[in-house]
């Protein structure tokens, strides 16, 4: 059974000693899906212990296929995986009523599964200023005009702030001077 997982999880063979690619497992049937869900559950159960809990992160769930959502449901509802914390991240503006993820969340809400929701929003202009200040290792009073531009361009989306600063550096619009030791 471990051969199936080493073929799907890069690097697992380093832990198990079982070489990658030694299984001819395919996900064609419902039984194959159920077997894979069972095997993933056993793997997580072997790793997650009360003495060393496990955090399992699934990002961009708004793009998840049905099998991934079924895998998520099985982990959340598995009472034997108690030392497991699952963080499921998704863009709620891309998930509408009837979306497979919305359907799953509805089912989990009425089940006995412990599910908590944490909504994050955009950051305010003062936080963008602090982020720019930290990123550039400069006093907040010296990055005011740049942080205002960054805030206007990104509307306070934390990911966009970081990407925008990176793009400024990549395009040579924001450079560090070795002479003045400033940006």
pLDDT tens digits, residue range 55-85? 989 999 999 998 889 989 998 888 777 788 8
Can you tell me the distance from the alpha carbon of 147 to that of 126, in angstroms, rounded to the nearest whole number?
A: 9
Of the candidates 77, 76, 63, 73, the one whose C-alpha atom is nearest the C-alpha of residue 104 is 73
Can you tell me the distance from the alpha carbon of 96 to that of 7, in angstroms, rounded to the nearest whole number?
A: 35
Which two structure tokens, joined as six digits, stand for 67?
A: 């099998």
Whether 9 shows a pLDDT value over 80: the answer reads no
Percent of the chain exceeding pLDDT 90 equals 37
Question: Model's pTM, two decimal places?
Answer: 0.65
Q: Which residues pair with 84 in a beta bridge?
A: 54
Can you tell me the distance from the alpha carbon of 43 to that of 57, in angstroms, rounded to the nearest whole number?
A: 15
Of the candidates 109, 100, 44, the one whose C-alpha atom is nearest the C-alpha of residue 68 is 100
């Amino acid at each position: 059974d471990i051969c199936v997982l080493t073929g799907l999880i890069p690097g697992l063979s380093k832990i198990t000693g079982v070489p990658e690619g030694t299984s001819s497992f395919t996900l064609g049937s419902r039984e194959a899906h159920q077997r894979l869900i069972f095997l993933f559950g056993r793997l997580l159960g072997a790793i997650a212990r009360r003495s060393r809990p496990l955090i399992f992160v699934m990002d961009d769930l708004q793009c998840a296929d049905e099998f991934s959502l079924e895998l998520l449901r099985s982990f959340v509802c598995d009472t034997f995986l108690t030392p497991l914390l699952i963080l499921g991240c998704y863009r709620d503006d891309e998930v509408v009523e009837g979306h497979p993820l919305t359907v799953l969340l509805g089912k989990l809400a009425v089940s006995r599964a412990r599910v908590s929701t944490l909504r994050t929003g955009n950051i305010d202009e003062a936080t963008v200023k602090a982020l720019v200040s930290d990123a550039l290792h400069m006093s907040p009073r010296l990055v005011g005009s740049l942080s205002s531009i960054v805030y206007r361009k990104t509307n306070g989306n934390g990911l966009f702030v970081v990407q925008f600063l990176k793009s400024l550096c990549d395009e040579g619009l924001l450079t560090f001077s070795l002479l003045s030791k400033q940006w």
